[in-house]
Chains A and B, each alone.
Chain A
Amino acid sequence: MLWIRMAFLQIIRNKGFAFFFMFNLAMGLAGFIAVLSFGRSLNRHMDENLKEILTADIEISSNTPLTFEEFSIADEVLGKDTQKARLIRFYTMAGTKGDARLVEVMAMDGTYPLYGSFNLLNQTPVKALEESAAVFMTQDTAGVLGFENTANEPPALTLGGKSFVLKDFLSEEPGLSSASFELAPKLYMGIRQLEDTGLIKFGSRVRYSHFFRLGENADIPSLTETLRARFSEKFPGPPRLRINDTRDVNRRLSRVTGYFTRFMGLISITGLFLSGIASAYLFRGYLNSRKKDMAVLMSLGAKKSRIYLTISSELMVMGTLASFVAIIISQALIPAFPFIFKGLIPAHIRIHTDPFTLMIALFMGVAGSLIFCLPLFIRIFRIRPLMLLRNIEETPFFSIRTAPFLFAGFFPVIAAFFYLSCLLTGSVRDGSIFMAGSGLALAILSGLGGIIFSGCQYLSHTRSMVRKIAFRNLFRNKWSSLSCFVSIAMGAFLISIIPQIQKGLQNEISRPEGLKIPAFFLVDIQDEQKEPFLDLVKQEKADLSNFSPMVRGRILSINQHPFYDENNSRSQRLEFNFSHRKTLDVSETIVQGRPLSQTPWHFESKIPFEISVEASFAGQHGIALGDVMGFEVQGIVLEGQVVNFRNVRWNSFQPNFYLLFQDGVLDDAPKTYLASVSHDSVEKRQALRQKIIREFPNISVIDVTRLAGKILSITDRLSVSVRFMAWFSIAAGLVLIFSIARHEALKNQNQINLLKVLGAGTPAIRSITLLEFGFTGCAAALAGVGLSFCFSYAGAWYFFDSLWRFDPNASILILVLTTLISMGTALAASGKVLNSKPAGLLSGLS
């Protein structure tokens, strides 16, 4: 306690500097808290969206009811106190007399949905479904089923052997399962009403779903894995139960939300490193300013441990105060953010700081002071007190003997950062990669800085007084210049990694420009229906896209190895759809290899035809360019060679194929056509649908409007969030650079005073300061930004499936702003000194 009191005394006596130090540190930490809170809140928001789509945390479904044994396994793994809901879904024919239509019945219990909700036009309580033979449907569905006039009497429809009353219309229904290519409109009814319909009996094709909602902090992915493992252990062979969590909601959407989570992880960890660099820099600065006192204490015979305790108590007290200030500032500001950033972040998002974030911020402030300064303490304690009394700029030196001590000093820092990295990225592997990457970047930037400041010696050989003095200062103060350079460069490096990846991610997430979201997928258009169908679409002025032939066949082999055998992990799916297109769709780009040949392939030719493979499919099945693949189409064995990999803009919502064949291969094969249709007007859309069904009854019209709408609304939000977070963290990073520059500028005061006394005019002193700081800031930003290109490219390749875009605007902005901030803060700090009288140099007034 004595140490804390002493520390407080020291801080109070040294008010000015202590306040300055704490302000800088608090600013850095507040920025970090804000970034982390934002990132985690947005992530949670997206997670909740996915949960609403699944309506649960975990869904277990199967074709037959779950057995008692299966239930008890689920209860055992998920815990007894989970909320549960049950849904039975199946297709049936329903409608008004004589004209039955395919509908999907959703028979649910009272607790469904666990996330999300029903919205009914007349606010009928959902419980009504349980108590009476009633159904809910949308007005669209009612129209399709022929319930035109519902004003006079409540319409009824027969399902199996029972009559149901249409109680209310849905304006919003919960959930959107993975299979929600809506082959048929949905009807909701109570699960208790199901039995009397007589539709569920031996041979019925029914899906039984059980939904589970777990506690806030449940680790859902790992519970899902445990469940899968437990079931497959108990019931070997092909799994009977399908166990899904939010990751399975939509394969591609979850890939994108996976990127998003990683991106937020990247941002948080960047924030962590930035605030770490800034606080380390500030702590070190403070320690350097107290070096003399330490030397005095040492010369007075104080034990090193006692000095360490004294100084670190001071640091800890200031760090703690700073983190509390940061927490107070951030807590005061964060609730206002949704208003400040209205339109820039998704609406209705609750942004709050979780205890985890606050703990890390506190840790940075409190423990950071100790662990960041440990290496410096070790270095200082190796120096004799006498040396400290003189004004020696000690140069770090290295020897085998002292290396272990130095390493020991760095070990806690490295360990702490490693732990936090793993915590923030959620995986040891990602954390290690980020740590290693940062270490490498630090080493490269330090080397680069060394070269740059050595080079300043040559720049100082000039007749210009300003340049001579400025560059000589930089060169001679190499070590202190270097630490400033490395801190700023690391800051610039970290923040400019983000926009490169953000740009790539944005490109992947955002809606393709000018894209018409298809309303329907049309499946099973026969060869002979092709012409009349195209005519109809033309007449109706609908937009038809991607009219593609579809031929079904099997992949037999890759390079003579069977495509599927029991030993490899390839899916047992053997049948695939093959297609051909003269020109690639706008949503497709070739990422590797050359385009398919336009010359039709002939059956007689001995050479294999050319294949274009979708990139993720190739990755999943280990297909390489040049591989020869064997196929069987309708009894005919064919051989083709992979000539390119294709990327598909998945959110274009266009029918796409894993495999495209060269022209001519599929010409004679029995095939059907697939197309997507969009129409600007909602009413005409329904009319078009009716017309297609009437004229081509075999064509299945799959309504994708709702799916596309929901997914696009999520991806739009993701896209907005990604952009916002990128800019927000750049801003936070620049604030940190500002605090570093401010500190560095303050150190410069004495020099400015002396120059003034020696006769340098204000303009000259300003020029020297501007040149010194501008050069350091600009060189650091250049080095950081330049390095970030390479690193972000590597990072994008590893973490984000090569989603990388060159973003010159953000880089130039970071470069310019870093330079300007360095110059501006230095100028502001020097201005204060310039305006004051240099009398402080005199003995009596210091």
Chain B
Amino acid sequence: MILELHHISKSYPKPGSGSIHVLKNISFSLDRGDTMAITGQSGSGKTTLLSLIAGLDRPDFGQILLEGKDISAMKENELSQYRALKTSIIFQQFHLMPHLTAEENISLPLEILKQDRIKELTDEMLEKTGLKDRRHHLPGALSGGECQRVAIARALIIKPALLLADEPTGNLDMETGEKIAKLLFDLVEKENKTLILVTHNPFLAGQCREIRRLEKGVLV
């Protein structure tokens, strides 16, 4: 198993008094190559679940095992290292470094992780995402679709065990969104990656092997 969630609960303090139970006793597991879409209304807890899986936040109860290791029990430093090596996130807002070129944005994780063969791997990712002739452009000079391609390339370059995507086509028009979704799923399939996708978009969710729906903090 790549990812196992056991009885995950999370609540946030309510402004005023008391607290909101965002996630209630959630359990599921994913194997290598699995793709899962999590849908649900705004406020149903999708993003909270994603941030817990990504290790950006910690659950109140329960365990999250990534490749068998309990990330919810890790110390902050260990966690950030592990997170960086094993997971990648693709954001709705792309979150590219505005002052770095496409190529530099893609190679940034490798630089941070001080890995070798940066040039080679970056060229490979540029090739795979079809950005070869846009490598020297700054994000501002790229279209939205191109930006998300850069983000996907950046996510995949570290060869993560688990890929997380937060509304990856939410900021794109329909046509571009479809193209990006195709690229994402092609790459996930080709590289046999595990993907968790949070989206409203039924078309996008439909391309996953498994679709789960969050309703008031409960996975159905």
Please determine if A and B sit in direct contact within the complex, based on CB atoms under 8 angstroms apart: yes
A residues with CB within 8 A of B = 390-393, 465, 468-469, 472-473, 476-477, 750-751, 754-762, 764, 837-839, 841-846
Q: What are 21 A-B contacts with C-beta separation under 8 Å?
A: A390-B140, A465-B111, A465-B114, A477-B99, A750-B95, A751-B97, A756-B80, A757-B83, A757-B95, A758-B154, A759-B112, A759-B158, A761-B77, A761-B81, A764-B112, A839-B51, A839-B57, A842-B166, A843-B93, A844-B43, A845-B48
Contact A754 B47 (CB under 8 A): no
Q: How far is the CA of A344 from the CA of B155 in the complex (A)?
A: 61
Please give 15 more A-B residue pairs, beta carbons under 8 A apart, in addition to A759-B109, A839-B47.
A391-B140, A468-B111, A469-B112, A473-B99, A477-B99, A754-B95, A757-B89, A757-B95, A758-B108, A759-B112, A760-B112, A761-B80, A764-B112, A839-B57, A843-B92
Task: Given A477-B99, A762-B77, A843-B91, answer yes or no on A837-B51 (Cβ-Cβ < 8 Å).
Answer: yes
Q: How far is the CA of A391 from the CA of B144 in the complex (A)?
A: 11
B residues with CB within 8 A of A = 42-43, 46-48, 50-51, 54, 56-57, 76-77, 80-81, 83-85, 89, 91-93, 95, 97-100, 104, 108-109, 111-114, 138-141, 154, 158, 166-167, 170
Q: Smallest Cβ distance from A205 to chain B, in angstroms? A: 84
Q: Enumerate chain B residues within 8 angstroms of A465, measured Cβ to Cβ.
A: 111-112, 114
Contact B83 A754 (CB under 8 A): no
Contact B80 A842 (CB under 8 A): no
Contact B104 A472 (CB under 8 A): yes
Q: Enumerate chain B residues within 8 angstroms of A755, measured Cβ to Cβ.
A: 112
Contact B42 A758 (CB under 8 A): no
Q: How far is the CA of A476 from the CA of B104 in the complex (A)?
A: 11
Contact B56 A844 (CB under 8 A): no
Instruction: Indicate which residue in B80, B95, B138 contacts A759 across the interface (CB closer than 8 Å).
Output: B80
Q: Which 6 A-B pairs have CB atoms at the shortest separation, nearest pair first?
A: A759-B84, A844-B47, A476-B99, A392-B140, A843-B92, A839-B51
Q: How far is the CA of A278 from the CA of B173 in the complex (A)?
A: 42
Kindly report which residue of chain A lies nearest to residue B43, judged by CB atoms.
A844
Kindly report which residue of chain A lies nearest to residue B171, judged by CB atoms.
A843
Q: Enumerate chain B residues within 8 angstroms of A390, measured Cβ to Cβ.
A: 140
Kindly report which residue of chain A lies nearest to residue B51, judged by CB atoms.
A839
Instruction: Indicate which residue in B42, B77, B97, B99 contacts A754 across the interface (CB closer than 8 Å).
Output: B97
Instruction: Indicate which residue in A476, A762, A842 contacts B50 across the interface (CB closer than 8 Å).
Output: A842
Q: How far is the CA of A762 from the CA of B76 in the complex (A)?
A: 9
Q: How far is the CA of A237 from the CA of B74 in the complex (A)?
A: 98
Q: How far is the CA of A764 from the CA of B138 in the complex (A)?
A: 24
Kindly report which residue of chain B lies nearest to residue A474, judged by CB atoms.
B99
Kindly report which residue of chain A lies nearest to residue B104, judged by CB atoms.
A472
Contact A838 B112 (CB under 8 A): no
Task: Given A390-B140, A842-B91, A844-B42, answer yes or no on A837-B167 (Cβ-Cβ < 8 Å).
Answer: no
Q: How far is the CA of A842 from the CA of B48 in the complex (A)?
A: 9
Q: Smallest Cβ distance from A717 to chain B, in angstroms? A: 54
Contact A842 B47 (CB under 8 A): yes
Contact B51 A842 (CB under 8 A): yes
Q: How far is the CA of A601 from the CA of B170 in the complex (A)?
A: 99
Q: Enumerate chain B residues within 8 angstroms of A392, measured Cβ to Cβ.
A: 140-141
Q: How far is the CA of A473 from the CA of B104 in the complex (A)?
A: 11
Task: Given A391-B98, A759-B113, answer yes or no on A841-B91 (Cβ-Cβ < 8 Å).
Answer: yes
Q: How far is the CA of A757 from the CA of B84 in the complex (A)?
A: 7
Contact A843 B47 (CB under 8 A): yes
Q: Enumerate chain B residues within 8 angstroms of A843, measured Cβ to Cβ.
A: 47, 91-93, 166-167, 170
Q: Smallest Cβ distance from B140 to chain A, in angstroms? A: 4
Q: Enumerate chain A residues within 8 angstroms of B104, measured Cβ to Cβ.
A: 472
Q: Enumerate chain B residues within 8 angstroms of A844, measured Cβ to Cβ.
A: 42-43, 46-48, 166
Kindly report which residue of chain B lies nearest to residue A768, judged by CB atoms.
B112
Contact A391 B91 (CB under 8 A): no
Q: How far is the CA of A476 from the CA of B137 in the complex (A)?
A: 12
Q: Enumerate chain A residues within 8 angstroms of B141, measured Cβ to Cβ.
A: 392
Q: Smallest Cβ distance from B215 to chain A, in angstroms? A: 16
Q: How far is the CA of A758 from the CA of B95 in the complex (A)?
A: 11
Q: How far is the CA of A554 from the CA of B80 in the complex (A)?
A: 90
Q: Enumerate chain A residues within 8 angstroms of B109, measured Cβ to Cβ.
A: 758-759
Q: How far is the CA of A465 from the CA of B138 in the complex (A)?
A: 20
Identify which of B50, B98, B139, B154 gathers the most chain A CB atoms within 10 Å of its CB: B98
Contact A758 B99 (CB under 8 A): no
Contact A469 B166 (CB under 8 A): no
Q: Enumerate chain A residues within 8 angstroms of B85, measured Cβ to Cβ.
A: 759
Q: How far is the CA of A759 from the CA of B42 in the complex (A)?
A: 28
Q: Enumerate chain B residues within 8 angstroms of A764, measured Cβ to Cβ.
A: 112
Q: How far is the CA of A837 from the CA of B48 in the complex (A)?
A: 12
Q: Enumerate chain A residues within 8 angstroms of B99, measured Cβ to Cβ.
A: 393, 472-473, 476-477
Q: How far is the CA of A761 from the CA of B83 in the complex (A)?
A: 11
Q: Enumerate chain A residues within 8 angstroms of B83, measured Cβ to Cβ.
A: 757, 759
Q: Smallest Cβ distance from A820 to chain B, in angstroms? A: 26
Contact B80 A837 (CB under 8 A): no
Q: How far is the CA of A722 from the CA of B74 in the complex (A)?
A: 59
Contact B113 A393 (CB under 8 A): no
Q: How far is the CA of A759 from the CA of B77 in the complex (A)?
A: 10
Q: Enumerate chain A residues within 8 angstroms of B167, measured Cβ to Cβ.
A: 843
Instruction: Indicate which residue in B47, B54, B77, B111 contacts A469 across the interface (CB closer than 8 Å).
Output: B111
Contact B57 A837 (CB under 8 A): yes
Q: Smallest Cβ distance from B184 to chain A, in angstroms? A: 16
Instruction: Indicate which residue in A472, A477, A754, A845 contacts B51 across the interface (CB closer than 8 Å).
Output: A845
Q: Enumerate chain A residues within 8 angstroms of B91, measured Cβ to Cβ.
A: 841-843
Contact A841 B139 (CB under 8 A): no
Contact A476 B139 (CB under 8 A): no
Q: Smallest Cβ distance from A359 to chain B, in angstroms? A: 42
Q: Smallest Cβ distance from A385 to chain B, in angstroms? A: 15
Q: How far is the CA of A762 from the CA of B79 in the complex (A)?
A: 11
Q: Enumerate chain B residues within 8 angstroms of A751, measured Cβ to Cβ.
A: 97
Q: How far is the CA of A469 from the CA of B92 in the complex (A)?
A: 24
Q: Enumerate chain A residues within 8 angstroms of B154, measured Cβ to Cβ.
A: 758
Q: How far is the CA of A465 from the CA of B140 in the complex (A)?
A: 24
Contact A393 B98 (CB under 8 A): yes
Q: Enumerate chain B residues within 8 angstroms of A762, measured Cβ to Cβ.
A: 76-77, 80
Task: Given A757-B56, A843-B167, answer yes or no on A476-B47 (Cβ-Cβ < 8 Å).
Answer: no
Instruction: Indicate which residue in A760, A837, A845 contacts B47 across the interface (CB closer than 8 Å).
Output: A845
Q: How far is the CA of A366 from the CA of B95 in the complex (A)?
A: 36
Q: How far is the CA of A529 from the CA of B84 in the complex (A)?
A: 98
Q: Enumerate chain A residues within 8 angstroms of B54, measured Cβ to Cβ.
A: 757
Q: Enumerate chain A residues within 8 angstroms of B170, measured Cβ to Cβ.
A: 843
Q: How far is the CA of A392 from the CA of B98 in the complex (A)?
A: 8
Q: Smallest Cβ distance from A265 to chain B, in angstroms? A: 42
Q: Enumerate chain A residues within 8 angstroms of B108, measured Cβ to Cβ.
A: 469, 758
Task: Given A472-B100, A844-B42, answer yes or no on A839-B56 (Cβ-Cβ < 8 Å).
Answer: yes
Kindly report which residue of chain A lies nearest to residue B56, judged by CB atoms.
A839
Q: Smallest Cβ distance from B53 to chain A, in angstroms? A: 11
Q: Enumerate chain B residues within 8 angstroms of A393, measured Cβ to Cβ.
A: 98-99, 138, 140
Q: How far is the CA of A757 from the CA of B91 in the complex (A)?
A: 11
Q: Smallest Cβ distance from A390 to chain B, in angstroms? A: 5
Q: Smallest Cβ distance from B11 to chain A, in angstroms? A: 15
Kindly report which residue of chain B lies nearest to residue A476, judged by CB atoms.
B99
Q: Enumerate chain A residues within 8 angstroms of B80, measured Cβ to Cβ.
A: 756, 759-762
Contact B112 A476 (CB under 8 A): no
Kindly report which residue of chain A lies nearest to residue B85, judged by CB atoms.
A759
Kindly report which residue of chain A lies nearest to residue B80, judged by CB atoms.
A761
Kindly report which residue of chain B lies nearest to residue A843, judged by CB atoms.
B92
Q: Enumerate chain B residues within 8 angstroms of A757, measured Cβ to Cβ.
A: 54, 56, 83, 89, 95
Kindly report which residue of chain A lies nearest to residue B52, judged by CB atoms.
A839
Q: How far is the CA of A839 from the CA of B104 in the complex (A)?
A: 23
Q: How far is the CA of A845 from the CA of B92 in the complex (A)?
A: 12
Q: How far is the CA of A29 from the CA of B141 in the complex (A)?
A: 40
Q: How far is the CA of A839 from the CA of B77 in the complex (A)?
A: 17
Kindly report which residue of chain A lies nearest to residue B113, judged by CB atoms.
A759
Q: Enumerate chain B residues within 8 angstroms of A841, measured Cβ to Cβ.
A: 89, 91, 93, 95
Q: Enumerate chain A residues within 8 angstroms of B47, measured Cβ to Cβ.
A: 839, 842-845
Q: How far is the CA of A842 from the CA of B83 in the complex (A)?
A: 16
Q: Smallest Cβ distance from B80 to chain A, in angstroms? A: 6
Q: Smallest Cβ distance from A133 to chain B, in angstroms? A: 89
Q: How far is the CA of A758 from the CA of B91 in the complex (A)?
A: 12
